[in-house]
């Protein structure tokens, strides 16, 4: 803040460089620590060194040899992907209507989704637990997908309607003049233009589903639908007397990889999505 001048002196650059490095350290240290632990051998696990003294892939070999982890990984990927697709499709439809059309109940819908965005998820755990047991949804994929869609929808609707407001709508009007119905205008003209926004929203929604822990441990009881974050807290190591630290860390690193990839490749989009949705909401 000290140097706002347009010609940046080298000193200012160096100072900013130091500040930037501090940010990088802040953000990366916990991640690097868990990566480091995952590569430590059993003997050096407790040496407290930040960088492993001897490296091993053993922890990764171990987790990919246990059914528990593979199953949880499949559950995590499947549930998050399905929930993302459904939430984004429903969210796109609703956001288009909110951004573009005039219809009764619009304000109510916006209000309701804002309420849900602020809703304490734990308040739903008790009734959903009981309802899902009654409906046979407890400990199944749909049993997790449903609440994920619900809590992802407000996020999807806000982010998408913010994106949709910035689309050049004259094109839609032109299509309508050429005889397209509103539905056709939506499919043929607007949908392709909206694709980047939809994609960004999909990333945000996927991160949300991928992250969830509360529903994952409350609404599942076996490996048939337990996701990785939930399974992590039940890890006991490959044998009963073994300390699970190494395997927990390896599993943790595996589920962090997609997040790192998203952040690396879509940084701009994620920032745009998060800020547009939240501020204009």
**Segment 129-188, which members bind other proteins (CB under 8 A)?**
129-131, 146-147, 149-150, 153-154, 157, 169, 173, 181-183
Helices (H), the chain: 10-39, 58-64, 67-100, 106-118, 122-135, 141-164, 170-177, 182-184, 191-211, 214-218, 228-232, 245-280
CB nearer to other proteins: pick between 11 and 192: 11
Report how far residue 217's alpha carbon sits from residue 82's, in angstroms, rounded to the nearest whole number: 19
| Interface map 190-209 toward other proteins (x if CB under 8 A) | -----------------x--
In whole angstroms, what separates CA 84 from the centre of its chain?
9
The residues in 79-118 that bind other proteins, with binding defined as CB under 8 A, are 90-91, 93-94, 96-98, 100-106, 109, 111-114, 116, 118
CB nearer to other proteins: pick between 30 and 192: 30
Q: How far is the CB of 15 from other proteins (least distance, A)?
A: 9
CB nearer to other proteins: pick between 57 and 173: 173
Angle at 76 between CA 230 and CA 194, to 5 degrees: 130
CB nearer to other proteins: pick between 3 and 195: 3
The residues in 56-85 that bind other proteins, with binding defined as CB under 8 A, are none
Among 61, 191, 195, 278, binds other proteins (CB under 8 A): 278
Among 61, 74, 191, 263, binds other proteins (CB under 8 A): 263
Q: Widest CA span of the chain, in angstroms?
A: 74
Report how far residue 120's alpha carbon sits from residue 118's, in angstroms, rounded to the nearest whole number: 6
CB nearer to other proteins: pick between 12 and 77: 12
Query: Which region, judged by CB under 8 A, interacts with other proteins, from 52-60, 62-70, 194-202, 250-258?
Result: 250-258
Report how far residue 161's alpha carbon sits from residue 97's, in angstroms, rounded to the nearest whole number: 9
Q: How far is the CB of 2 from other proteins (least distance, A)?
A: 6
Among 81, 85, 180, 214, binds other proteins (CB under 8 A): 214
Dig out the tokens for 114 from the structure. 């804002």
Closest residue by Cα to residue 164 from 63, 95, 80:
95
Question: Residue 260 in 3-state DSSP?
Answer: helix
Closest residue by Cα to residue 39 from 256, 232, 280, 253:
253
Tell me: does residue 11 bind other proteins (CB under 8 A).
Answer: no
CB nearer to other proteins: pick between 71 and 158: 158
């Amino acid at each position: 803040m000290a140097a706002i001048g347009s010609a940046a002196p080298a000193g200012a650059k160096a100072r900013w460089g130091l500040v930037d490095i501090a940010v990088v350290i802040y953000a990366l240290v916990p991640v690097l620590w868990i990566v480091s632990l995952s590569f430590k051998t059993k003997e050096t696990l407790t040496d407290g060194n930040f960088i492993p003294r001897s490296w091993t892939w053993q922890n990764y070999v171990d987790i990919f040899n246990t059914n528990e982890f593979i199953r949880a990984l499949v559950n995590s990927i499947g549930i998050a992907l399905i929930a993302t697709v459904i939430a984004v499709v429903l969210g796109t439809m609703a956001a288009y209507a909110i951004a573009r059309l005039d219809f009764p109940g619009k304000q109510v819908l916006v209000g309701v989704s804002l309420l849900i965005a602020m809703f304490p998820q734990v308040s739903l755990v008790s009734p959903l637990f009981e309802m899902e047991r009654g409906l046979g949804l407890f400990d199944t994929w749909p049993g997790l997908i449903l609440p994920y869609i619900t809590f992802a929808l407000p996020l999807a609707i806000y982010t998408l309607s913010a994106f949709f407001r910035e689309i050049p709508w004259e094109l839609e009007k032109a299509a309508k003049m050429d005889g397209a119905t509103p539905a056709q205008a939506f499919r043929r003209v607007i949908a392709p233009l909206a694709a980047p926004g939809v994609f960004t929203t999909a990333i945000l929604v996927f991160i949300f589903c991928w992250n969830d822990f509360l529903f994952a441990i409350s609404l599942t009881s076996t490996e048939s639908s337990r996701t990785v974050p939930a399974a992590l807290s039940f890890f006991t190591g490959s044998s009963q007397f073994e300390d699970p630290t190494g395997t927990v860390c390896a599993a943790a690193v595996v589920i962090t990889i997609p997040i790192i990839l998203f952040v690396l490749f879509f940084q701009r989009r994620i920032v745009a999505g998060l800020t547009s949705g939240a501020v204009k909401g």
